[in-house]
Structure 1
Amino acid sequence: MQVTDSIRNTINKLPVSYVFTYRDFNPEVNGREAIIKALNRMVAKGEIAKLSKGKYYKPKETSFGLVPPDQYQVVKDLLGRGDNVVGYLTGYSVYTKLGLTTQVSNTIQIGRNETRPAMQRGMYKISFVNQRNTITEENIPLLQILDAIRFIKKIPDTTINDACKRLFEIVNSLSENDQKQMIRLAKKYPPFVRALLGAMLESLMSDKAVEPLANSLNPITKYKIGVSINRLPNATKWNIQ
């Protein structure tokens, strides 16, 4: 069987929009250069699409044209290393998932324990947010919420008050164990994040539970977030303006 036929058979078994590289086709057997040439010939024929250098996908075609792969597929190699989680989706795509905005962005943001320069993949700009907590599969949803609080002023197509209302609903929907875990994770976030989280949790948990957040804050520091007192009645207590 020719290299191209072998590759085509493998691709036919892949899900639509799955992003792959030459490594998915056993380069030790067929040779890296032969595989890359075959893939590029298939791109030229319109059988597959190219996301960026060395990255291809099986496109879904609609009456409006080719549908790009979902954001996870675009950056999955930046989120894990073998069985280890090294990053997670955050920012704009998560704001939409959490119901904080309806605006769709071509920027994909990734939380990682290291700082990396931004990059471009196809239509997407990929930027990185430094995460000081250890990243695990279990705490990623909580980190995403904390990130949304951290960047509340940058959530597009909404107001601070509306974003605060939605974030309170999200925090309120969490289990008590998750709320306690958020308090622990928030210790590695900026003070205004701890203040805003504390103000949200104060009406949901005991004073003792939120005490670590209050004790971590400088009592004379003011946090200019722009939340209305009508939206967050205890904002003054937490020095939120």
Structure 2
Amino acid sequence: MAKLDELKKHLKKGEVYRRTDLAQWSKSVDRHLDALLRDGTLQKLSQGVYYYPKETAFGKTPPEEEVLVRSFLKDDRFLLTSPNLYNSLGVGTTQLYNLRRVYNHKRHGEFMLGNRKFDFQVKHHFPNKLTPEFILVDLVNNLDRLAEDKQEVLKNVLNKAETMDARKLAHSVTLYGTAKTKKLLAPVVSTTNILHRRKKNAVKYAS
């Protein structure tokens, strides 16, 4: 028990641990893991991944998604997003998806972590944080996966793109758009179109 109590001193509520994390504090990690699971100190989220839940007035809280994904990947370089964010653009998407997408450099595939499904996709390039421009580009990248009328959504996307910051949108298309997305959005991010929009805005503000 003394060794188990010593291990517990290293654990912090709200944190997610891998078996390898615990092994640095225990020479009998599997036996101690069994004990920690039995007494409720840890909860198993997936193979080799465990959570030390926080206690609130409403019971034990689930782990924060970013903490969970960071521990699973053993990497800080990822972007957590969801197809549900497309609905914020106002381009005709209304579906709600029980799925979180994780762009990262290491893992690919769908994984259940706890009771949540995550779609891990290896990408060479993704931003540090979500922006409206990236969300729009990501929508077009995943247009074929949408449940809505794709042609209607694309028409609305092109109209929406005309109202966005031209420079930021062009930057997102260049860095994060697939070849197909670049082709579809070419009419609204072309140099000619951007210069035309700037000129039109300049006239509008001058009047």
Q: TM-score under structure 2 normalisation? A: 0.63
- TM-align CA RMSD: 4.3
* Change in CA separation of 1:47 and 1:168 when aligned onto 2, cut-off 3 Å: farther
Q: 2:182 matched to which residue of 1?
A: 194
* Structure 1 segments of 4+ aligned residues over 6 angstroms from their partners: 62-65, 96-99
**Could you tell me how far 1:20 is from its partner in structure 2?**
1.5
Residue 36 (structure 2) aligned to one of 35, 42, 50: 42
SS in 1 for 2:41: coil
- Identical residues among aligned pairs (%): 20
Higher relative contact order (CA 8 A, sep 6+): 2
Name 1:103's counterpart in structure 2.
Answer: 96
**Does residue 149 of structure 1 match 2:140?**
yes
Offset, 1:167: 8.3
Letter in 2 for 1:150: N
Equivalent position SS for 1:111: strand
On the 8 A contact 2:104/2:121 being kept in 1, the answer is yes
**Matched letter for residue 197 of structure 1:** L
Q: CA deviation at 1:189?
A: 0.6
- TM-score, normalization by structure 1: 0.56
Q: How many residues align?
A: 193
* 8 Å Cα contact 2:134/2:169 also seen in 1: no
Among 79, 88, 93, which residue is 1:88 paired with? Answer: 79
Q: Does 1:54 align with 2:48?
A: yes
Q: How does 1:85-234 map to 2 (within 5 A)?
A: 85=77, 87-92=78-83, 94-95=85-86, 101=94, 103-105=96-98, 107-112=99-104, 116-129=108-121, 131=123, 133-135=124-126, 137=128, 141=131, 143-155=134-146, 160=150, 161=152, 165=156, 169=160, 172-174=163-165, 176-185=166-175, 189-191=178-180, 193-201=181-189, 205-206=194-195
Closer/same/farther in 2, CA of residues 200 and 129 from structure 1, 3 Å limit: farther
Unaligned 5+ residue runs, structure 2?
199-207
Match for residue 205 of structure 2? Answer: none
